[in-house]
Amino acid sequence: MDRYRVAITIRSFDDTGPGMADLLRSCEITYQNKTGKRLTEGDLIRAVRGAEGVIAGTEKFSGRVIGSSGDLRVISRVGVGTDSIDLVAARGKGIIVLTTPDAATQAVAEHTLALILAVMKRIGVYALSMRSGNDSIEPGSLLSGKTAGVIGLGRIGNRVAGILDVLGCRIIFFDPAPRIPPRDGWQEAGSLAELLARADIVTLHVPAQEGGAELIDERGIASCKSGSIFINTARGSLISEKGLERGLREGIIAGAGLDVFPAEPYRGPLLAFPQVVATPHVASFTVESRREMEREAVRNLIEGLSEVRS
């Protein structure tokens, strides 16, 4: 059987890892992104030309990219979300879209905890102050005893809630269709508005909304418990950027830990606030989780290509 023709468009893929070894056993690499950057639409069109399968990251597979993709039959994402892919266009061309939902859970949960602690302990503020010779101090906050509002109780949300529970937080959650049963003692909020009004910490673990709609708009931010903090390791479109900026300026929101943004790479106004701890969409990017995600993505790709060729 002919080898599968595969393009690697993700901005980082380990050439020496087990995923690449698995890939090379049955595939011909027609393109590999070694720029370290997300490919533009034009770059993607050129990159996938002649490929049957793609190992993808968060680069945007627009309708134009998919429409010009020729032989493309499988897009296998190293990651969970599919909002960077025009799924309607993909279905129209019979392209299978696959993800790696399990491998990133622990890494994203740990990154979420790191952002919570960094904001509450003012680590980002102190790091900037000390570099400029400013040794002034202000008190941080204890995590223990706080009410943590977890939006989305899937794999990652459940893991985050479990960690925060062990560390002494009261857990409330909002999820219209929880896929994993909550633990005893966790309280279900009757609405998103109730969670926002009660939570000291709000952490998001849900997919992007249809059409990139905001889950928490300006009014939602304004209704939050005063002095609360926001953590987002899910999707940047979920929170109103304008609303969060206003909440930070007016003190409704004491701080935020953000790994995802409305547009990436992000250069927007939220970076001007020292109480915002920002990371460049790297929550799942650990050596261990990345290795497993890449291997899972390759398995998915080869199985998908085998299915469409049979």
Catalytic residues: 235, 264, 281
Cis status of the peptide bond prior to 265, with omega within 30 of 0: yes
Residue 308: closest CA among 25, 95, 44: 95
Report the distance separating Cα 230 and Cα 204, nearest Å.
8
Report the distance separating Cα 27 and Cα 20, nearest Å.
10
Report the distance separating Cα 257 and Cα 247, nearest Å.
14
159: helix, strand or coil:
helix
* Contact (CB, 8 A) for 54 and 33: no
Between the alpha carbon of residue 192 and those of residues 149, 176, 216, 232, 294, the distances in Å are 10, 10, 9, 15, 35
Q: Which residue reads 């409704």 in tokens? A: 252
* Contact (CB, 8 A) for 208 and 235: yes
Q: Name the pairing type of β-strands 201-204 and 187-188.
A: unpaired
Please, what is the angle between helix 287-309 and helix 18-26, to 10°? 20
Rg of the chain, C-alpha, whole Å: 21
* Contact (CB, 8 A) for 81 and 235: yes
3-state secondary structure 203-243: EECCCCCHHHCCCECHHHHHCCCCCEEEEECCCHHHECHHH
